[in-house]
Amino acid sequence: MQVQQMDLVTQYKQLKTEIDDAIQKVLDSGHFILGEAVKEFEQTMANYIGIKHAIGCASGTDALQLAMMAYDFQPQDEIISTPMTFVATIEVMKLLGLKPVFVDIDPKTYCIDPAQIEEKITEKTKAIVPVHLYGQCADMDPINEIARKHNLKVIEDCAQAIGATYKGRKSCTLGDVGCLSFFPSKNLGAYGDGGMVLTNDDQIAQKLRMLRVHGAESKYRHIFLGINSRLDSIQAAILNVKLKYLDGWNEKRRQVAAKYTELLKDSDVIVPYTAPYNVHTYHQYTIQVKDRKRLQEYLKTKGIATGIHYPVPLHLQPAFKKLGYKEGDFPVSEQVSSQVLSLPMYPELPEEHVHYVAMEIKNFLAA
């Protein structure tokens, strides 16, 4: 049996007529950059999230960068985040001349540990960037309380958690701004790159709209130094079709996750934990296992594709060597990154595939 880690083709085939029609409508319009399709998708997303402003951009990475640019952080300002995330979270800070300050993760949720944040705050600290890893939200109430106390901005990295909720509130509404990625493998994925920044702040939204088009207030009138980061109309049209299916897809992901958890509960693996205040969207179903390398190799021989998110925490990446961190500085992130393994996960994953994956994991552990 062959089991893909994700399957984007099956989903497209199910929506082919709708998506093809939406693409054709854009092609017929001749408006390919920031056209009506983008405006429509931005409004639909704002309504879905329950927020005033949704500003499309070219990628999730750009969404993070635009958010930080909108607050006019200055070189060497400090931004608190986690080393257990995709590189983009921290990469944009360095590209803007900011100083990332890492805080270790909670050993259960794998999100930033609020209890360790305050000790890292200095007079240079300007923001906290919690990452809603694998599809569930960080514990946002204590994070926001710390931010208010120290007059810090909160920028949510929601790239993996669209549709997730925290105490009944959707991700992207829990801080000052929320940042989304529409990379094809995301729960709401485009057929190319795409991203979005969401906020209730009118002034920040206005600035974001200018920053994404070279800082222009109107054509050839540039108020800020900005970047070229626009969500193209074809991607917006595709996403607007797919958005109405998102909650159903996320529910199917939860059903797949529940089946995995049931089948693996008596095995020697650590299954994902969902905090009681969260509704998880399972962008990844990520277990921990001590002999990850051998298990991954074994599963490959059985036709089962897996992934590792992420094998090296960012404080140990060569690109961030100048930050001065060393092995042992963030022991939970280091331990978790050495053992995590993401199993096949997508809404259309057949139940027999879930059973097969779980069976082969247990066969490996029993050998």
DSSP 72-118: T--TT-EEEE-SSS-THHHHHHHHTT-EEEE-PBPTTT-SB-GGGTG
CB 119 within 8 A of CB 111: no
In a 3-state reduction of DSSP, which class is residue 344?
coil
Tokens of 93: 């800070």
Distance CA 154, CA 239 (A): 26
- How much is the average pLDDT of 305-322? 98
Per the CB < 8 A criterion, the answer to whether 131 and 150 are in contact is: no
**349: nearest Cα among 360, 340, 358:** 358
Q: Is beta strand 169-170 parallel, antiparallel or unpaired with respect to 177-181?
A: unpaired
- For residues 156 and 202, what is the distance between their CA atoms, to the nearest angstrom? 18
- Quote the CA–CA distance of 268 and 103 in Å, as a whole number: 29
Return d(Cα 225, Cα 210) in angstroms, integer: 9
Let me know: does 142 contact 114? Beta carbons within 8 Å. yes
- pLDDT over 90 at 215, yes or no: yes
Q: Would you give the end-to-end CA distance of the chain in angstroms?
A: 20
Q: How far apart are CA 160 and CA 157, in angstroms?
A: 8
Contact predicate 313/334, CB 8 Å: yes
In the chain, where the domains are located: 8-103+110-243, 246-366
Q: What is the pLDDT of residues 190-204, one digit of tens each?
A: 999 999 999 999 999
Q: Is the pLDDT of residue 9 over 90?
A: yes
How much of the chain, in percent, has pLDDT values that exceed 70?
A: 100
Residue labelled with tokens 């305050």:
118
Q: What is the pLDDT of residue 262?
A: 98
Q: Over 90: is that where the pLDDT of 367 sits?
A: no
Sheet of 169-170: strands edge to edge? 169-170, 165-166, 278-279
Residue with tokens 């921290």: 90
Token pair of 187, please?
């729960």
Structure tokens at 9: 């083709």
The CA distance from 207 to 201, in Å, is 10
How far out from the chain centre does Cα 113 lie? Answer: 17
Q: Which fold has domain 246-366?
A: Aspartate Aminotransferase, domain 1 (3.90.1150)
Q: What is the mean pLDDT of residues 318-322?
A: 97
| pLDDT tens figures, 71-104 | 999 999 999 999 999 999 999 999 999 999 999 9
**Residue 233's pLDDT is what?**
98
Tell me whether domains 8-103+110-243 and 246-366 share a fold.
no
Residue 269's CB: how many other CB atoms inside 10 A? 22
* Collapsed DSSP state (helix, strand, coil) of residue 58: coil
Task: Assign 32 a pLDDT band (cuts: 50, 70, 90).
Answer: very high
Q: If you count them, how many residues does the chain have? A: 367
> How many CA atoms are closer than 13 Å to the CA of 33, on its beta-carbon side?
6
pTM over the 0.95 mark = yes
Tens digit of each residue's pLDDT (9 = 90 or more) over 234-283: 999 999 999 999 999 999 999 999 999 999 998 999 999 999 999 999 99
Distance in angstroms (rounded) separating the CA atoms of residues 162 and 49: 9
pLDDT at 306: 98
Q: Tell which CATH architecture fits domain 8-103+110-243.
A: 3-Layer(aba) Sandwich (3.40)
Nearest Cα residue to 168 out of 188, 142, 140: 140
Mean pLDDT estimate for the chain: 98
- HSE (CB half, 13 Å, CA atoms) of 114? 14
Whether residue 128 contacts residue 73, with contact meaning beta carbons closer than 8 Å, is answered with no
